[in-house]
Chain A
Amino acid sequence: MESRRGMDLARRSFLARASMVALGAGASTLVVSRASAAVTRPGDIGVIQTALALEHEGIAAYQIAGKSGLLSPKTLKLAMVFLGHHQMHRDALAQLVSDAGGKPVEPKTDAQYIADLQLGSLKTESDVVALATTLERGAATAYISQVAALSEPRLAQLFAGISADEATHWATLHNAAGTPIPIAAFLFGR
Chain B
Amino acid sequence: MNSLQTKRNRLLVIACLLGEVLCAGCAMAIEPAAEGHTLYQNQCGGCHSVETNRIGPRHRGVVGRRIASVPDYDYSPALKQLGGVWTPSRLDLWLSGTQKMAPGSRMYLALDDAEQRRLIIAYLQSISGTDGSK
User: Which residues of chain B in 29-50 are interfacial with respect to chain A, using CB atoms and an 8 Å cutoff?
Assistant: 39, 41-47, 49
Asked if B89 is at the interface of the complex by the 8 Å CB criterion, the answer is no
**B54 adjacent to A116 (CB under 8 Å):** yes
Task: Give the size of the chain A interface in residues (CB under 8 angstroms).
Answer: 28
Asked if A43 is at the interface of the complex by the 8 Å CB criterion, the answer is yes
* Given contacts A53-B55, A118-B51, A137 and B42 within 8 Å (CB-CB): yes
* Given contacts A50-B106, A149-B108, A57 and B42 within 8 Å (CB-CB): no
Residue from B42, B45, B104, B109 with most neighbouring chain A CB atoms (10 Å)? B42
B116 cross-chain contacts in A, Cβ below 8 A: 190
A111 to chain B, nearest CB (A): 13
A130 CA / B47 CA spacing, docked (Å): 17
B53 cross-chain contacts in A, Cβ below 8 A: 116
A138 cross-chain contacts in B, Cβ below 8 A: 41-42, 44-47
A52 to chain B, nearest CB (A): 10
**B47 adjacent to A46 (CB under 8 Å):** no
Asked if A183 is at the interface of the complex by the 8 Å CB criterion, the answer is no
B83 to chain A, nearest CB (A): 21
**A54 adjacent to B45 (CB under 8 Å):** no
Task: Give the nearest-CB partner of B112 in chain A.
Answer: A148
Asked if B79 is at the interface of the complex by the 8 Å CB criterion, the answer is no
Closest 5 CB pairs of A and B: A138-B46, A142-B46, A149-B108, A138-B45, A53-B55
Could you list which residues of chain A lie within 8 angstroms of chain B, going by C-beta atoms?
42-43, 46-47, 49-50, 53-54, 57, 115-118, 134-135, 137-142, 145-146, 148-149, 188-190
A-B contact pairs, 18 of them (CB 8 A): A42-B104, A50-B47, A50-B107, A54-B47, A54-B55, A115-B52, A116-B54, A118-B52, A134-B45, A137-B42, A137-B45, A141-B43, A142-B47, A145-B46, A149-B110, A188-B42, A189-B43, A190-B39
Could you list which residues of chain B lie within 8 angstroms of chain A, going by C-beta atoms?
39, 41-47, 49, 51-55, 99, 104, 106-110, 116
Q: Besides the contacts A135-B46, A138-B47, what 19 more A-B pairs have beta carbons closer than 8 Å?
A: A42-B104, A46-B108, A47-B108, A50-B47, A50-B107, A54-B47, A57-B54, A117-B54, A118-B51, A137-B42, A138-B41, A140-B46, A141-B43, A142-B47, A145-B46, A146-B109, A149-B109, A149-B110, A190-B42
